Amino acid sequence: MTRQEAATIFERIATLLELKGENPFKTRAYRTGAEIVESFSGDIMQLAADNQLAGIKGLGEALRDKLHEMATTGRLEFYEKLKKEFPETLFELFDIQGLGPKKVAALHAKLGVSSVADLKRVCADGSAADLSGFGDKTVAKILDSIAFHEAHASEFRLDQVHPVVLAILEALRDHPNASRVEVCGSFRRGKETVHDLDFLVATRQPEKVIEAFVKLPQVVDVIAHGPTKASVHVGQGIQCDLRAVSTAEFPFAFMYFTGSKEHNVAIRGRALEHGLSLNEYGFTATKAGVEIPQVHDERELYRALGLDYIEPELRENIGEIDAAERGQLPRLVELENLRGVFHNHTTASDGKASLEEMAEAAQELGFQYLGIADHSKSSFQANGLDEKRLLAQLDEIQALNAGFDGFRIFAGSEVDILKDGSLDFPDEILARLDYVVASVHNVFNLPEAEMTRRLLKAIENPHVTMIGHLTGRLLLQRPGYAVNVPAILDAAAETGTIIELNASAWRLDLDWRWWKLAREKGVKCSINPDAHSIHGLKDVIFGIRAARKGWLRREDVINTLPLAEMEKFLAARRR
Ligand code: DGT
Ligand code: CA
Ligand code: CA
Ligand code: ZN
């Protein structure tokens, strides 16, 4: 079990105890426990497995035992029993945006709401609007959230599926009869959300590997089980498919199951022009005299059709095949190219780790610089800094920097863009920072023209280095606000303002679909983890995938610059 899963279980226990009317101290202990599990700097699940949790502040014996149980057995008896006291459908409510535990508790206690269907009913018949703490506006918002949620049912974000992918690959690769195991499908293509996970194994003993797959400890139920393929559900309801093929078929199946379907159709059409029929098992000649090319890997498969190798992220049939034919595919940015990261939070605002801890973690990841950008004062819900605290942080950063060799913290701020496009700090304050991320955090419901003007005004402020999460979307939770992205990109190109690719699996904003256009306009990207803990820094892996999917090269991504060049770049911008 991952730490995120364990933290979610603690969080849910807290809510369920609240619904039962248990005493607040007990519920608070679980909430605190959830936070500790999420943000603890060491490998807390390993410590839990080894019974080494004693002495962690805020984690009492009862919670330590439960964590041990989760780390060693992958489940928690107490939680399973507690869950059974409630209808299963109640848990759907936790996925509705804007419906915190307090509202769920009120709806459940006062109106007997135990499912999304119940919730829709009490919203429609007016009884929800009569509850204290609710009103017509809240109800309208809840109905919007339900509609959005239903439109995205059975999709998952990368933070949800990434640990599953790693665990299943590792388990299958351990199998003595598996000679090669890969993940395919939308996950391999770097999509921002996926419906299901597709695994592929090369083996001479398909039955044995398939048998082992359906018996993995993560598997909750088996949907289908045949001699060469199986489908299962793992925790959180994620479907995983596995296909077994021979080594000779592997490259064909690897390409086929990576997709996209549109890419496959186009490639198959191209094969036919070469007198070859292509499917997931191989080539066959469609007319006499056509020689079947030898193919040992995907690269040779593309080569056989006169194409350069097409990276999986690009396989969406949006021009990659033409570019491959003309030898004009971009050389895509890689994780190893990143030299540092901007837009990170500390305990000064809503982060879980201190400046020192964040700096240490950044150095451990091999970064040469770490940009700190805590929230500004208008983001009071995130404990945003006022001028005084910001300047104190600046001093603290300078003191820390004096002790580093080959590493530097850049002092910044994630300054709120206010409703009228002005910034939350005056220019004199911004001028003292190394860089500034400007972001919208409230009043999302402006008409497109007004929201665009608001952002343009921020872009035109010379102190603004980059714009954070441009559309404000939260994947599978809320759509982005209305904004004219091309107009923003034009202004960014003109002013040299960088656009963030927020790497949090919740955001991946600006979306990959815009980056080809951004690149053509000459806009630079910064891949920013928006880390709120030391673990959050690793979210750059999601951002890199999105950047690659957006055709971005190393030179399009500003934070591939080494420290000395980055210092020069920032200094030049401040002039
Ligand atoms: P997802 O699961 O909806 O996030 O997206 P994918 O792309 O992983 O889709 P999935 O799991 O249905 O199928 C995996 C790949 O298999 C898909 O990307 C391409 C290939 N594939 C599936 N069905 C077809 C088909 O009818 N025709 C072709 N050419 N390829 C297909
Ligand atoms: Ca899939
Ligand atoms: Ca599938
Ligand atoms: Zn933000």
Task: Express each pLDDT in 37-85 by its tens digit.
Answer: 988 888 899 999 999 998 888 899 999 999 999 999 988 999 999 999 9
* Confidence band of 570 (pLDDT split at 50, 70, 90): very high
Q: Is the CB of 154 under 6 A from ligand 1?
A: no
How buried is residue 575: exposed, middle or buried, by Cβ count under 10 Å (0-12/13-18/19+)?
Answer: exposed
Kindly give the pairing relationship between strand 219-225 and strand 229-234: antiparallel
| Best CA proximity match to 292, nearest among 308, 278, 307 | 278
Residues in CB range of 536: below 8 A, 6 or more apart: 344, 504, 529, 530
pLDDT of the residue at 338: 98
- Mean pLDDT confidence for 142-161: 89
What residues form DSSP beta bridges with 203? Answer: 178
Chain-centre distance for alpha carbon 372: 20
Confidence tier at 264 by pLDDT (50, 70, 90): very high
Residues 389 and 511 placed together within one structural domain of the fold: yes
What are the phi and psi torsion angles at 66 (to 5°)? -65, -40
pLDDT of residue 132: 85
pLDDT, residue 502, reads 98
Domain with residue 514: its CATH number is 3.20.20.140
Asked if residue 267 has pLDDT above 80, the reply is yes
DSSP letter at 293 equals P
- CATH number (domain holding residue 178): 3.30.460.10
Q: Is the pLDDT of residue 575 over 90?
A: no
Question: How far apart are the C-alpha atoms of 58 and 367, rounded to whole Å?
Answer: 32
CA distance linking residue 209 with residue 229, whole number of Å: 10
Per-residue HEC secondary structure of 327-351 comes to CCCCCECCHHHCCEECCECCCCCCC
Task: Establish if 253 belongs to a structural domain.
Answer: no
Query: Model confidence at 3, in pLDDT bands (50, 70, 90)?
Result: confident
Given 269, 304, 326, which residue is the final one in a domain? Answer: 326
Give 215-246 as a 3 state SS string. CCCCEEEEEEECCCEEEEEEHHHEEEEEEEEC
pLDDT average, residue stretch 191-203: 98
pLDDT surpassing 80 at residue 213: yes
Mean pLDDT of 341-346: 97
The per-residue pLDDT for range 317-334, each reduced to its tens digit, is 999 999 999 999 999 999
- Residue 255 belongs to a domain: no
Write the pLDDT tens digit of every residue in 499-555.
999 999 999 999 999 999 999 999 999 999 999 999 999 999 999 999 999 999 999
User: Is the same domain home to 227 and 270?
Assistant: no
Percent above pLDDT 70 for the chain: 100
Domain at 9, CATH number: 1.10.150.110
Paired tokens of 138: 């809240």
Looking at the fold, whether 542 and 448 belong to one and the same domain comes out as yes
Instruction: Please work out whether the CB of residue 260 comes within 6 Å of at least one atom of ligand 1.
Output: yes
Residues 114 and 234 in one domain: no
Contact 227, 211 (CB under 8 A): no
User: What is the reported pLDDT for 486?
Assistant: 97
Nearest CA residue ID for atom 28, ligand 1: 261
Distance 197 CA to ligand 2 centre (A): 5
Nearest CA to ligand 1 atom 27: 261
What is the Cα–Cα distance from 197 to 202, expressed in whole angstroms?
A: 17
What is the predicted pLDDT for the residue at 74?
A: 87
Does residue 254 form part of some domain? no
Question: Where a domain ends, among 180, 212, 247?
Answer: 247
Its pTM stands at 0.85
Rounded to the nearest angstrom, the distance between the alpha carbon of 437 and the centre of ligand 4 is 9
Residue 174 lies in domain: 156-247
Residue 198 in contact with ligand 1 by CB distance below 6 A: yes
Task: Name the domain count of the chain.
Answer: 4
Q: Is residue 538 part of a domain?
A: yes
Residue 92, pLDDT > 90, answer no
Q: Which two tokens stand for residue 384?
A: 């945003």
Task: Assign 415 to helix, strand or coil.
Answer: strand
Do the Cβ atoms of 35 and 69 come closer than 8 Å? no
391 in a domain, yes or no?
A: yes
- On whether both 14 and 103 belong to a single domain, the answer is yes
